[in-house]
Amino acid sequence: MTQPDVKPNNKKKIILMTLGLMFPVFLVGMAFLAVKSDAKNQAEYARQKAEMMERIKAKEAENVQLTQQQAASEAELAASEAAEK
């Protein structure tokens, strides 16, 4: 009794080896894409943050100016009331 020769399935081996080699390449490619995309996002967020800080500083300066104007008008009003007495 002889056992039949089992012929290895070369096609299946080649497919599995190809997948084994392509998977790490795919992972490295996806990691590179993620890093590149993250760098773009970080630059965009930094730009947006700078714009918001500019707006906030402008509003604060406007509020300070309004407060000074109100204080000046109140002082003038108090001075005119004192002069009337």
pTM of the predicted model as reported, rounded to 2 decimal places:
0.52
Give burial (CB, 10 Å; 0-12/13-18/19+) of 29.
Answer: exposed
Whether 33 is covered by a domain: the verdict is no
Whether 49 is covered by a domain: the verdict is yes
pLDDT of residue 79: 82
Whether 18 is covered by a domain: the verdict is no
Whether 23 is covered by a domain: the verdict is no
Note the pLDDT tens digit of each residue in 20-77.
Answer: 999 999 999 999 999 999 999 999 999 999 999 999 999 999 999 999 999 888 888 8
Stronger pLDDT, 83 or 45, i.e. the higher one: 45
Q: How many domains does the chain have?
A: 1
Its domain, for residue 44, covers 38-85
Whether 14 is covered by a domain: the verdict is no
Whether 71 is covered by a domain: the verdict is yes
Whether 85 is covered by a domain: the verdict is yes
Whether 78 is covered by a domain: the verdict is yes
pLDDT of residue 3: 62
Give the span between the Cα atoms of 70 and 77, in whole angstroms. 10
